[in-house]
Amino acid sequence: MDIRPIAGALGAEILGPDLSRPLDADDVATIRRALLDHLVIFFRDQDLTPDQYLRFAGYFAEPIEYPFVKSIPGHPKIIPVIKLEHERVNFGGIWHSDTSYLEIPPMGSMLLALEVPPRGGDTMFANMYLAYERLSDGMRRLLDGLTAANSSAKADTTRTREDRMRADGTTEVKNYEAEHPVVRRHPETGRKALYVNVAHTLRFAGMTEAESAPLLEFLFRHQSRPEFTCQFAWRPGSIAFWDNRAAQHNPINDYHGHRRVMHRITLAGDRPC
């Protein structure tokens, strides 16, 4: 395999493997190491059936169901991520760590591009190791002792999710809430990462939203600084696989009037600590 970093902060493209075929143990270990080193990895020109896609995901963790979007027919562990030509708001179009409102958030997620707009529709990723490490010593000491409350019901996030649920014919909306450390230690690398996000984090535990807001707003701005990020341009057959424990992502909503269709797999994780 040829592993090519795409930015200084994070992200690498992996050239060579045909993911429609079974991988041997050495290939899986190489890909896992690349994920841990670069936090998000990309593959091009992959023509996968849903079963082949699930097989590839299963090398790294158990695929799990996503709580809010109807899956594709016959495959409950794969959901469509779609923006149609007439829609103005994209799904998940805000900086976030996937489903941090769950007691056990996913270790990672994968997106496979099926249809992409003629221009735009890139996704940005940000390195939460760097976001933590570039804070002052005093700020790191303060954050190391804090816990944050996360919710699936923050207004900026629910708009696109509820639109998609209405399109799916889903009427019941359940709210999920969980408290997690503001700084989590990665279970495989041992490094500390900032673990709050503007999409789901409401407040610090034991504080009101008003009391929490000034520090959280600073952290939200800080963690998406350009020098912590990379940007990926999609083509049909592209795959992105990111480590949800140390990276955030934000799909750019700059392709109104065009269609974008992705298939997503979410991978089981561990309780942040």
What DSSP string runs through 186-230? -TTT--EEE---TTTEEEETTS-HHHHHHHHHHHHHHHT-GGGEE
**Known catalytic membership, residue 264:** yes
pLDDT of residue 67: 85
Q: Which domains does the chain have, with CATH numbers?
A: 2-267 (3.60.130.10)
pLDDT score of 170 more than 60:
no
Residue among 82, 96, 95, 46 at smallest CA distance from 255: 82
**Known catalytic membership, residue 249:** yes
**Known catalytic membership, residue 38:** no
Per the prediction, the chain carries an average pLDDT of 94
Percent of the chain's residues with pLDDT above 90: 89
pLDDT of residue 169: 53
Per the residue annotation, which of 96, 161, 203, 263 is the catalytic one?
96
pLDDT of residue 198: 97
Q: Contact at 8 Å (CB) between 239 and 43?
A: yes
**Known catalytic membership, residue 47:** no
Condensed to tens digits (0 to 9), the pLDDT of residues 184-238 reads 999 999 999 999 999 999 999 999 999 999 999 999 999 999 999 999 999 999 9
pLDDT of residue 162: 45
pLDDT score of 160 more than 70:
no
pLDDT score of 158 more than 70:
no
Q: H/E element holding 164?
A: helix 155-168
Stretch 11-17: mean pLDDT: 97
**Cα-to-chain-centroid distance, residue 156:** 16
CA–CA dist 41, 27 (Å, integer): 14
pLDDT of residue 68: 83
Residue among 153, 150, 207 at smallest CA distance from 182: 150
Stretch 69-83: mean pLDDT: 95
Please indicate, yes or no, whether the overall pTM of this predicted structure exceeds 0.85.
Answer: yes
Q: Contact at 8 Å (CB) between 192 and 129?
A: yes
pLDDT of residue 172: 57
Stretch 57-64: mean pLDDT: 98
Per the residue annotation, which of 161, 180, 249, 263 is the catalytic one?
249
Stretch 243-266: mean pLDDT: 97
Per the residue annotation, which of 38, 98, 184, 203 is the catalytic one?
98
Stretch 100-122: mean pLDDT: 97
Stretch 153-166: mean pLDDT: 55
